[in-house]
Structure 1
Amino acid sequence: MPFPNDEQIMKTAGDLIAQLKTLFGSHPGFRPAHAKGKILVGTFTPSAEASKLSRALHFNAPSTKVWLRFSNSTGLPQIPDNVGDADPRGLAIRFHLPEVNGRRMHTDIIAHSVPLFPVRTGAEFQELLRAIGASGPSTPDQPSPIEKFLGSHPAAMAFVTYPKPLPASYATLQYYGVSAFKLVDANGRETFIRYNIVPDAGIQTLDAGTVMGENYLQEELSARLEKGPIIFKIVAQVADSSDITDDATVQWPESREKVELGTVKVDNIIPDNPIEQKKVIFDPIPRVDGVEPSDDPLLEMRAAVYLMSGKDRRAA
């Protein structure tokens, strides 16, 4: 499926941002989705297997500085950490690459704590947001717009009903890159993968009914780092020749081969966090030699949304 032209992408991206602001309000200086978050700093060290799959700089250098932004869902900057609406939790990882001709270089991974996305395209996401905005209390004989949407979109229903227990920590969640990417090695061999970000401490969630504070996830990061670094493994789930690589609503079987690409060791929360969060614009498209985007139509759309909202955030 070909991507729409740039004009179509930017128009739909602008409409999506406007719809998100309709749902969550306008909060200058904050993201329209995953508004509440915190950025930490650490180091990525690739595994020996990483260079066999990709010639990308960060998979071949001894180590690379990284930023990680943990976040809650929605465009509400003050959403409590202890409510279901804050799911799925997000994780963005930025790899700070060596400068080229004085220009800063980077590549990013965007992930969240559910292994699929509710819709395949930006247009469908806009339909979903409009259905949410148009829905009030339903009655047995008159389903709400969101109930109608979920009833006609099985992938969205699967996303909504996927288990989302309250996390014990941002550091004990597994995060999934729902879009596929193509790793290219030094000989030009191509491998389709999806990223899994796996906590070294294991997956830990809280029992239903556990009472936690409104900012417990943010506060827990500081307390955890005082005891030592936070560690994640970046794992590539390798596609089989039969797997769909252009649809983020479709999960690949758990039986697929998984290759450890390296370790992220997180040491500190960056200073001036609010300032840096306004400035940094993550990019779902890798834009680095050795990692290429798939034909997933969400990639160009999400990149446009992130760029447009980032420019608005910086201007606030």
Structure 2
Amino acid sequence: MASKIARGPLLVAAALLGTGHARAQTTASAAELVDALNRVFGTRRHARANHAKGLVVSGSFRPSRDAALVTKAVHLQPAQAPVKTTVRFSNFGGNPHVADGDPGAAPYGMAIKFALSNGEETDIVMHSFNGFPSRTTNEFRDFLTALAKSPAGSPQPSPLQRYAATHERARFFLDAVKPAPESFASQPYFGVNTFKFIDAAGAARYGRYRFVPDATRYLAQAAKPGGPPIICTLNCANGFRMRPSP
């Protein structure tokens, strides 16, 4: 089941998964994951360990009336002023200079921060692949470790191939075609995390966000000479303005 919760150039759909949700055991720490990412992409000063190259835009968000049927979250209630948002589009990997059309730049990321009326903030993290190579932080750490040990020219089968042979999610992620988009704003994005939605009656269900673009309302923009390498931004007429971000 999916419920549309926004209008405009990016349509937000919450793909609801039902009332039950099993949580897999996970123990790997954030520091372990960052270390594992740095082993894959290398350590760079003043750069993120992953999705190092990005573009930040700011705008506003107004939910549809359907949103209130799913959740009582403050920013998803229709009778309110538009919610200020900050959105970061990004390329995969730890290389802040990767070409946008490079196969290694996919899946592309989209992260949204909502500035709530009560002074708090909430976030959604998504990427352009419908899925994730692991279920837990432990599996993700092991996936990255195998990736780091499998540079081009590694003897076959490589550690990554051996890992993928016993981990279906990782194998599906590696084998999937991830074409470069015409624009950051012209492709769908899929929530990495599952959220618990609680409606006004107290009923709970779980789901992942899916952002679907209105393909008729985006603008491709080339980088200015000497400026930051970017491939696009949302049409400024839609309420977003562009500013490059590291």
The TM-score normalised by the length of structure 1 is 0.62
Counting helix residues as a fraction of each chain, which structure ranks higher? 1
User: By how many angstroms is 1:178 displaced?
Assistant: 3.3
Tell me the matched-pair count.
213
Pick one of 107, 119, 135 that aligns with 1:120.
135
- 1:266-298 CA distances to partner (integer Å, 9 max, x unpaired)? 42014xx44xx6xxxxxxxxxxxxxxxxxxxxx
- 1:68-115 CA distances to partner (integer Å, 9 max, x unpaired)? 10000001111111110000000001111124xxxx411011100011
Pick one of 108, 118, 124 that aligns with 1:89.
108
Using the aligned pairs only, state the percent identity: 34
Is the 8 Å Cα contact of residues 25 and 136 (structure 2) preserved in structure 1? no
> Counterpart of 1:123 in structure 2: which amino acid?
N
Is the 8 Å Cα contact of residues 61 and 83 (structure 2) preserved in structure 1? yes
Is the 8 Å Cα contact of residues 185 and 232 (structure 2) preserved in structure 1? no
> Counterpart of 2:55 in structure 1: which amino acid?
K
Structure 1 residues 50, 179: CA separation in 2 closer, same or farther (over 3 Å shift)? same
Corresponding residue for residue 157 of structure 2: 143
Residues 1:44 and 2:61 aligned together: yes
Is the 8 Å Cα contact of residues 125 and 193 (structure 2) preserved in structure 1? no
Is the 8 Å Cα contact of residues 217 and 235 (structure 2) preserved in structure 1? no
How do 1:56-135 and structure 2 match up within 5 A? 56-60=73-77, 61-99=80-118, 104-135=119-150
Corresponding residue for residue 188 of structure 2: 174
Structure 1 residues 111, 153: CA separation in 2 closer, same or farther (over 3 Å shift)? same
Structure 2: distance between partners of 1:91 and 1:119 = 19
- The DSSP-based 3-state class of the residue aligned with 2:232 is helix
Structure 2: distance between partners of 1:43 and 1:203 = 16
Is the 8 Å Cα contact of residues 74 and 116 (structure 2) preserved in structure 1? yes
Structure 2 unpaired stretches of 5+: 1-22, 219-226
- CA-atom RMSD in angstroms: 2.4
The TM-score normalised by the length of structure 2 is 0.79
Structure 1 unpaired stretches of 5+: 205-214, 230-265, 278-316
Corresponding residue for residue 218 of structure 1: 230
User: By how many angstroms is 1:2 displaced?
Assistant: 6.7
- The DSSP-based 3-state class of the residue aligned with 1:179 is coil
How do 1:226-245 and structure 2 match up within 5 A? 228-229=237-238
